[in-house]
Amino acid sequence: MSIDTLEDLYLEQLKDLHSANRQALDITTKLADAATDTDLVRALEAGADGIRDGIDALLAIGQRHDETLDGVQCKGMEGLAAEARAHVLEAEFGGDAIRDAMIVTQYQRLVHYALAGYGCLAAFARRLELAEDVTALQACLDSSREGDRTMTELATGGINKAAV
């Protein structure tokens, strides 16, 4: 596909973020299963719910533009998911708290990819004057920011202390 216009770029990035979210959902549910801190488990489950909401929002946007979002494999998230698997699910730890600290680290990397994706898409939608898309994308961006803040609070509030 040739990307000739901002709308072309917008739709291409919409597909990429949809693929990223599908991959992030899979690994986030596995991270939640591996976590031991109850607050972390709850936060990861909430994160998975937020990712599902994001997938739904992206699909709705795609429908408004008569675009199917399947057929793209986000290589960036593929790498982040592989890193999370290697550093959490396939690694050995000296204790549960250390694993939980690594889970926070890996999850925040996933979230930061989403922050960049939603931020760029929202900016494109604003320029393209797609008000309904902007509203949906901004809600996803805000939700991702909140998830990132929650993870930082969990890490600095006790998970990293327990890992010491």
Model confidence at 118: pLDDT above 80? yes
Over residues 81-92, the mean pLDDT reads 97
Model confidence at 1: pLDDT above 90? no
Structure tokens at 22: 């599908």
Residue 8: C-alpha distances to residues 13, 42, 99, 136 (Å): 9, 38, 41, 19
User: Residue ranges of the domains in the chain?
Assistant: 6-163
pLDDT band of residue 101 (cuts 50, 70, 90) is very high
Per-residue pLDDT tens over the stretch 4-59? 999 999 999 999 999 999 999 999 999 999 999 999 999 999 999 999 999 999 99
Q: Which fold has domain 6-163?
A: Ferritin (1.20.1260)
Per-residue pLDDT tens over the stretch 140-161? 999 999 999 999 999 999 999 9
Could you give the percent of the chain with pLDDT greater than 70? 99
Name 27's Cβ contacts closer than 8 Å, sequence gap at least 6.
Answer: 80, 81, 84, 85, 110
